[in-house]
Structure 1
Amino acid sequence: MDDQERFLSIGYQGDMPLLYFSDKGWIIQREQTVDLWLKQWSGWVEEGKLPEDMPYLKNNSRETVLLFLKKNCGDRQ
């Protein structure tokens, strides 16, 4: 299986092996993360309790946060 078909890749830092997402794996992981956030938000909205602070958004990549905003807001302008 070539690297384009894999979801994970192996890299090394010194003599320590590391697993990291391939480009394809990262796209899938990002989509799953955003879908989980949307599901959580839907539950919070239904319960009427939205968190005032969302520090987990700060700890994620810009691509993931922008995808979340795009999916959450749709094409509204």
Structure 2
Amino acid sequence: MSTEQLLLEKWRSLPLDKQQEVLDFVEFLEFRQTSTILLKPKKSFPATTLDDVAGCLKYQGTAKTIQDMDNAIRQGVEESWHDRS
């Protein structure tokens, strides 16, 4: 039995909604094979630094550590939890 015959036989044994899923999947595979997606930019981006990226944030306070941020989140959660009571 050829692959085509086997596929058709198995497809026919499925309920109509599953047959439609198979058709959708085949169309997806066909689309993926014929379509190209550009994954690289046409021009390379110049090298950037953290200051280039975060410098626009205009934060004037002292630098915070991850622990400082975790503590602030924990405190906010505790405060919102106590407000529910």
Q: TM-score, normalised by structure 1?
A: 0.31
Which of the pair is proportionally richer in helix?
A: 2
Identify the structure with bigger relative contact order (alpha carbons < 8 Å, sequence gap 6+).
1
Whichever structure has more strand as a proportion of its residues is: 1
- TM-score, structure 2 length as denominator? 0.28
Q: Which has the larger radius of gyration?
A: 2
